[in-house]
Amino acid sequence: MEPSKAIEAFWDRMQARDWKGLSELLAEDLVVEWPVSRERIEGRGNFVRINAEYPEGWAIKVLRIVADGEVVVSEVEVPHDAMGVHRVVSFWTVRGGKIVDGREYWTELGSDPSPEWRAAYVQRV
């Protein structure tokens, strides 16, 4: 499976809560880093369990996927009924059809307030 298709399938299976199918896309020794919360997830099983046990009420909306060889970047919006809307930019490495590593930057929309000094140069979105 080409790398961009593997990441499309990854997000589709996340949305479907297809944990077995998700596992099939991941290398057993997968490592995913979440720098914002200073966490590293080692192993396919741990990554799948974290996602499977996340409190329900969320959805996945893929905004874009860009690939360059085995490196794939995805931008995804994740609205949650109780926790607001999050965005995640993920950098994935896919080899032999398996996701071998990732680095994800999660943030909640509006959680990083715009400083007043920039007001003359920006438009609020």
Closest CA to 30 of 85, 97, 98: 98
pTM, to two decimals: 0.92
Would you write out the chain's pLDDT as a tens digit for each of its 125 residues? 899 999 999 999 999 999 999 999 999 999 999 999 999 999 999 999 999 999 999 999 999 999 999 999 999 999 999 999 999 999 999 999 999 999 999 999 888 888 999 999 998 87
Exposed/middle/buried for 122, CB within 10 Å: 0-12, 13-18, 19+? exposed
